[in-house]
Structure 1
Amino acid sequence: MGMRLAERFAAIMALALWVMTAFAPLAGAATVLSPETQLQPLGGQWSALRDPSGTLRIEDVAQSEAAHGFAPLPGNLAAGYDRGAWWLSAEIRRTADASADWLLEVEPAFLDEVTLFTGDGQGGFRAVTIGDRVPFSARQLAYRTLVFRLHLPDDLPLRVYLRIKSTSTISVSAQILSPEGFALRVSNSQIAHGLAHGASVILILLALVQYAAGRDRLYLGYITYAFPVEVMYLARDGLASQFLFPEMPLVADHLLGISLCLASGAAVLFAARVMELETYFPRMNRVYRILGRGCQWSALSVPAGFYGLAAPVIVSMLPVFFLVTTVLGLRRVVDGEAITRWYLAAVQIPFLINATIVARALGLADIPMELDLVAHYGACAHLLLIGSGLIWRGAAIEARRLQDRQAQLESAQLVEKALEERVRLRTQELAQSNAALAMEIAERRAAEDRVREREGQLRAILDAAPFPMVVSSFPDGIVTFLNGPASELLNVAPAFCIGQDVTKFYVDAADRDILVLQLAASGAVLGSEIRVRRQPDEERWVLLSAVRFFHGGQDCALVCLNDITTRKELEGMLRLGRRRAEAALEAERQATREQRNFLAMVSHEFRVPLAIIEAASQLLRIYLNANDEAGDEIAKIRRAVRRMSELIDVCLADDRLDASAMQLQLGSVDVTRMLMDICDDKRPFAGNRELVVRAQERGLVKADPTLLRIAFSNLIENALKFSPPHDPVSVDVIIHPDAVQVRVKDLGPGIAPEEQPRIFEKFYRSTKSDRVRGAGLGLYIVKRIMDLHGAAISVDSQAGAGTAFDIWLPSAAVDKTN
């Protein structure tokens, strides 16, 4: 498919070439060579014929040029990347006084095969084939370009044919030279190309020296870019065929394509690194990396035979790359990046020159071959500017490094002065410490005496302990003491055990390693179940607790053992049953954990009322004869008892609500009557606050009376707690067609908006309720009760304007007989 596309492209190019030249004058006039002629270009003298299949022979072509579609060329041949063969035809004659020996030079040097056909005087043709894929020794002249010898025996016109076939771009420029003109051209060409190649090699060597000196990876990227560029120009100028691989034409031919791919990829990757695209343009950096690696991997297309497909893509990409790089470089220059200025200036040279060469390579324009040398010098200038930028960058880095070193030196001098001052002060401190050292030694000796005395007391206590106790050194585990119960548990004599390694008493030595790590981390181990070995060969389960302490002048571990072998045996018997009940017990454990948390909180709340009751009861006995004071204390007792009763109610309600088999005991409830009864119960404890119940009519619903009463009581109690003194608390009952609405409103401080979504969570308390007693369960229970009844509850609160809670019993809960 790729080959067909290439053939179609070449056919289109040939058609365009024919259209451009359809109205040009026929190149029928012969090129005349005189004694004064030293160099005669053949541009505009050729007639061209495309052979798509490459199967035409010279006899077929020479029979009738017009029949095979030869068309005059206005200039040189620029056919682009074409898989077919091209035939060029021209007439040459000399004047009678001109030399008979001439040279025909064909450029560029990288054309694969160029065959010159001239008449042999007997109706046939002589053929000479040279090219980039022909051994260099087959050339008539050992020169980098393709040079043919021409012999004009008389002044009659000589028809010459050139057949060109190449995997690279087909761009042909030819000229006829006299031997003297050729010698002059060779001399000038060698000087010009030698200077260009010498400059490139010097730049590469300088970059190598810079990289070896500073190990700057940017220089390495520069080298990987500059080296294939130089190799590409060596191959394009024909020097690789002449000097490097004269007898390996295929290698010399592939070298141009491979170096072009590698140089293009290296240019893209080097641009990304110089402009720091990874930092400032990460998306473009990914594009550049993919594009660069793709160009480098496309070098494999050369030996694989697909270079004719890859080369147009790479060559077409280069102007776009230079343009995008210029735009990105301008962005970096605006940001103040100095090295990008050098690179941006360097990019413009190949951008301006290579655009025309790319047009010729793609067959879009006829560009003189002399521009290749200009491009080479432009590449040298390009590399020189980049190298100068790198040197400037290195100088700037070195200057910053020197500044940093100077700053570090000054800092070190300041630190040295400070250190000297600290040494002086420390010397004074040491002098004072020496004076106190003797006193400290005396105190330490006295302390050691006390320690020995305490160790003796400790040993006596351990001997008297009724449970097994073992003391061992830490962490090596050498037994230093064990009491009688420990000796009986391990079935060893104390005298035999002292000095033994405790590891021999562990069934699994890994258990001891774990205990050592825990003791090292926390200093204590509590309730660890392990297996120990009772001599001679019996295993016992023990509950081990250990603590680190200082004993006998060394770090030790005190180990307490409790024989739980019987319990473990029972656990083994119950293990099968436990596995069967594991799923059910997991739910029970979860409930137990929640209950423990709850009971821990409730137990704390119980202590406050009980303390009040205790204190008030004692004061009551003292002030029994003083009625006023006794009345106050009795009131305290009533309030405390009331709080305990309410807390118990809340706890019982929470326990009932948390029951997994909770079922409502529904009955007909008069909401208005229930609210009035609750308010009557709470008025004695409302202080100066007024409790107002407003109802239009009776509100009958189907509900659980106990739970509904708890819910309303909690809401009214919360309103009383947070309502300021002398401010009323209102309870409104509003009858709707499909619901009964109850609103409890206070004039308290209100609830912050950020806390309102959490007030119905279990144990949650507002930051404003720190001074108000409570368990954090009231609103949670109210919400649970409303959920069980299919009712809804909402809060409306603003800072400083109080809080209103609204409850709606939906239509499913309303008594239809109301």
Structure 2
Amino acid sequence: MHLQPAYPPPATRSTLRRMLCRGLFAVVGWLALGLPAHAVMLSASDGLERAVDLMGALALQNDPSGQWRVEDVSREPQQHGFKPVEGPVEAGYTRDAVWLRFSLARTPNAPSRWLLRLRPARMNEATLYAPDGRGGFVETPLGDRRPFVDRPVPDHNFVFPIDVTTTAGDYFLRLHNDGPPLRAELDLWQPAGFDRFQTQDYTAIGVLMGAAMLAICMNLIFMVWLKDTLYGHYALYVLCTIMLTTTRLGYLAEWVLDTRPERVAQAVQAVNCFFNVVATLFMARIFSFRQHWRPAARFFDAVAVFNGVALGLALTDFHTRIGVWVGIGSAASTLFGALFVCHLLLVRRQFQYLLPASAFSIGTVIGIYSLLKLWLGDLVPGAPPEHLYMLGTLTHLTVLNVAVADRTRRAERDVREHRERALSMHIEAEQVLESTVERRTAELAGANVALREEIAKRSRLEKRLLQSLDVTRRTAEQQHEFVSMVSHEFRTPLAVIDAAAQSLDLSKLGTEPAVKLRTGRIRRSVQRLSMLIENILVADRLHLEQRALRLEPVNMEALARGLCDSFNLHGSERLQLTAGHPLADVRVDRSLIEIALQNLMHNALKYSPSESCVRVALLQVGDAVQIDVADQGSGVPDADVARIFEKYFRSDAVATVAGSGLGLHLAREIARRHGGDVKLVDTSTEGSTFRLVLPNRGPEDAMPRG
């Protein structure tokens, strides 16, 4: 029997196809009306062991005006403006408001209460609009500009409690940042699962902070023990790293600024800038940039200064404008530092930097891995991104701590090798010294014989020298007696000549120009010879140390006025004397001080123009009398300033002016015998000022100065 296949007739098959299509369209329509294609279905097992990631279920739309309301974005045609987002929301440094849309539904056996977590915590404004079941929305505002104590769920991230129904509903989240880049990741938890995760989260940050505090204390101890400030710098770097980690994860608003939300954004930016300053200088120091290439060190110094300025601006209202520039500076310094470290390792073969380079590389690799985990979710195995971030920080600090300790280990090894080399050199030097001592001992024995002969020879020479000194002393005494006699014999004729010239000047013939000119020359020559004789006698007297000074109280103003009046011709008229009152009497040798002051006045008159004035000013300064003699000459050349007080020194610039080169020298010697001094206090093309200082001392203190 031949069996036919049980196919339905053609009419029946057509009817079945129509019924199947109608049923399919009905199902699709029901799904379209009841459960949108992008809705996330939550089951009873979700959100307990791990979060339900909303990445891939989000749609985004920018609001440049920042004025949209939830009623605007939830209605047509505004809904068509939403674009699907793959991975986390990355809006960068934008001031636009960003709207996110996602749809949620749950199975009947799943709980209705869920927690929506928003990361990171660096979000100025975050407002969730959840459907209320009556066509409206329930608004839940969060963000770091709101006090932490007002958060419905206390956590360092932003956590929104929401009610999810079995019917899919659209949720809208409005985000806005003024300063930091806008970045957002969303996930869902059941309350019980979130409690377990939160416990693990705070335990992880506690372990990280405990390890950091331990590292800080140990490195401060090492800094004190080893006297190496690098350990202190590393302790500061660890502290800044922990501060940066806690601020980026949102713990700053929870622990410190829970009631000051307006300061959170400024504090985050300030901590970031401070970390950049410390990290930049620490990296330049641990890799010895200044030693290998000074421009690299200067670049890192400039980056540190830039971040220091940004730190100051971060504490003001400008903190919202500097975020992008701080980010650019950090990226540039990191890239430059990485390239330069690679150059040190690969080109210069500086393998001692391999360990710190590995520390920075490990932190970077784990940071990149945490970003991949954040973007790809379960496709990348491993712990949650925030735990990876903390793990990377802890690993980076641990390896870097080993690198800092290795630096000290290498330094101690170098010191030990240096000591061993020094010890071997010391032993070798001792052997050489012993052989040298033996040789020198033999040489010394021969030298002792020669030395005794030399001592005998020198004794004979000493006797001859004493005899010569005795002869020289007697000769000097005879010379002194001769000079005194000649000087005394010159004084009388010179006085007669001066008196005759003065009488002739006062006679009728003195009114004639030719006679007046010649008598003036005679009197000036007589005065110059008289001063020369006085200077010679004073110089001779000063060099006889056995002759003491004849001290007596002297009124310096009266002495100075008497000297001014004693200058002949126009000298007394050109001298202008001023004195500050009161002036105490000083104990001096009157005759010597007259010579010293007369030399200073005569020197000022001689080197000043004939019609100019010479100012003599007396002033009491403490227990000393100060006398300034200021001329209006051409000044002392710079090359001669150091030598003008030398005996018999005459400058080439004044070679045409008569003089012996004794005046200034004797004035200083006399002043120093009295415990004072003569100095050139000012000189220029408009004149020079010499200062004579005489202290009021007793005879026992008037000793010559060395």
TM bucket normalised to smaller: 0.5 to 0.7
- Mapped to 1, the partners of 2:441 and 2:209 lie a distance apart of 69
Paired residue total: 494
How do 1:448-527 residues align onto structure 2 when only pairs under 5 Å count? Answer: 448=466, 450-465=468-483, 466=486, 468-469=536-537, 470-472=539-541, 502-503=592-593, 505-507=595-597, 525-527=647-649
- Mapped to 1, the partners of 2:462 and 2:372 lie a distance apart of 96
- Mapped to 2, the partners of 1:508 and 1:126 lie a distance apart of 107
Residue ranges of structure 2 left out of the alignment (5+ in a row): 1-34, 488-535, 551-562, 567-587, 604-626, 629-635, 652-657, 671-706
**Aligned match for 2:356, one of 343, 347, 359:** 343
The match for 1:164 is 175
Preserved contact between residue 266 and residue 296 of structure 1 (Cα < 8 Å): no
- Cα offsets for 1:388-428 (capped at 9, x unmatched): 22211212222322344455566677888959959989998
- Mapped to 2, the partners of 1:472 and 1:358 lie a distance apart of 97
The alignment status of 1:32 with 2:41, answered yes or no, reads: yes
The match for 1:400 is 414
Q: 1:344 to 1:328 in 2, by over 3 A?
A: same
The alignment status of 1:241 with 2:253, answered yes or no, reads: yes
Deviation, 1:238, is 1.5
Q: 1:254 to 1:359 in 2, by over 3 A?
A: farther
- Mapped to 1, the partners of 2:441 and 2:286 lie a distance apart of 53
RMSD of the alignment, in Å?
4.8
The match for 2:228 is 216
Q: Secondary structure of the equivalent of 1:525?
A: coil
Q: Secondary structure of the equivalent of 1:159?
A: strand
**Aligned match for 2:385, one of 371, 379, 383:** 371
The alignment status of 1:254 with 2:290, answered yes or no, reads: no
- Mapped to 1, the partners of 2:549 and 2:199 lie a distance apart of 105
Preserved contact between residue 120 and residue 126 of structure 1 (Cα < 8 Å): yes
Q: Secondary structure of the equivalent of 2:102?
A: strand
Deviation, 1:129, is 1.7
- Mapped to 2, the partners of 1:501 and 1:336 lie a distance apart of 82
Amino acid in structure 2 at the alignment position of 1:377? L
The match for 2:111 is 99
- Mapped to 1, the partners of 2:36 and 2:328 lie a distance apart of 32
- Cα offsets for 1:123-162 (capped at 9, x unmatched): 543322222221110011221111121234x533343221
What TM-score do the two structures reach when normalised by structure 2? 0.59
- Mapped to 1, the partners of 2:599 and 2:36 lie a distance apart of 104
- Cα offsets for 1:562-614 (capped at 9, x unmatched): xxxxxxxxxxxxxxxxxxxxxxxxxxxxxxxxxxxxxxxxxxxxxxxxxxxxx
Q: Secondary structure of the equivalent of 1:506?
A: helix
Deviates more, 1:340-349 or 1:212-221: 212-221
Q: 1:298 to 1:143 in 2, by over 3 A?
A: same
Q: 1:128 to 1:528 in 2, by over 3 A?
A: same
The alignment status of 1:292 with 2:304, answered yes or no, reads: yes
The match for 1:380 is 394
Deviates more, 1:45-54 or 1:375-384: 375-384
How do 1:244-643 residues align onto structure 2 when only pairs under 5 Å count? Answer: 244-316=256-328, 318=330, 320-333=332-345, 334-354=347-367, 370-406=384-420, 444=462, 447-448=465-466, 450-465=468-483, 466=486, 468-469=536-537, 470-472=539-541, 502-503=592-593, 505-507=595-597, 525-528=647-650, 543-544=661-662
Preserved contact between residue 478 and residue 500 of structure 1 (Cα < 8 Å): no
Q: 1:292 to 1:361 in 2, by over 3 A?
A: farther
Preserved contact between residue 127 and residue 142 of structure 2 (Cα < 8 Å): yes
Amino acid in structure 2 at the alignment position of 1:387? N
Deviation, 1:181, is 0.9
- Mapped to 2, the partners of 1:369 and 1:78 lie a distance apart of 22
Q: Secondary structure of the equivalent of 2:662?
A: strand
The match for 1:85 is 97
Q: 1:521 to 1:52 in 2, by over 3 A?
A: same
**Aligned match for 2:198, one of 186, 200, 218:** 186
Q: 1:155 to 1:499 in 2, by over 3 A?
A: closer
The match for 2:68 is 56
Preserved contact between residue 49 and residue 68 of structure 1 (Cα < 8 Å): no
Q: 1:246 to 1:65 in 2, by over 3 A?
A: farther
- Cα offsets for 1:455-495 (capped at 9, x unmatched): 12211123223454433557x9885799xxxxxxx99xxxx
Identity of aligned residues (%): 19
Deviation, 1:255, is 2.6
The alignment status of 1:173 with 2:185, answered yes or no, reads: yes
Preserved contact between residue 54 and residue 188 of structure 2 (Cα < 8 Å): yes
- Mapped to 2, the partners of 1:541 and 1:160 lie a distance apart of 109
Q: 1:462 to 1:527 in 2, by over 3 A?
A: farther
The structure, 1 or 2, with the larger RCO (C-alpha pairs under 8 Å, 6+ apart) is 2
- Mapped to 2, the partners of 1:316 and 1:361 lie a distance apart of 23
Deviation, 1:105, is 1.3
Q: 1:96 to 1:527 in 2, by over 3 A?
A: closer
Q: 1:481 to 1:349 in 2, by over 3 A?
A: closer
Deviation, 1:174, is 1.4
Residue ranges of structure 1 left out of the alignment (5+ in a row): 1-25, 483-489, 492-497, 530-539, 549-555, 558-818
**Aligned match for 1:43, one of 43, 49, 55:** 55
- Mapped to 2, the partners of 1:177 and 1:527 lie a distance apart of 101
Preserved contact between residue 81 and residue 361 of structure 1 (Cα < 8 Å): no
- Mapped to 2, the partners of 1:61 and 1:337 lie a distance apart of 60
Deviation, 1:306, is 4.5
Deviation, 1:112, is 1.8
Preserved contact between residue 128 and residue 172 of structure 2 (Cα < 8 Å): yes
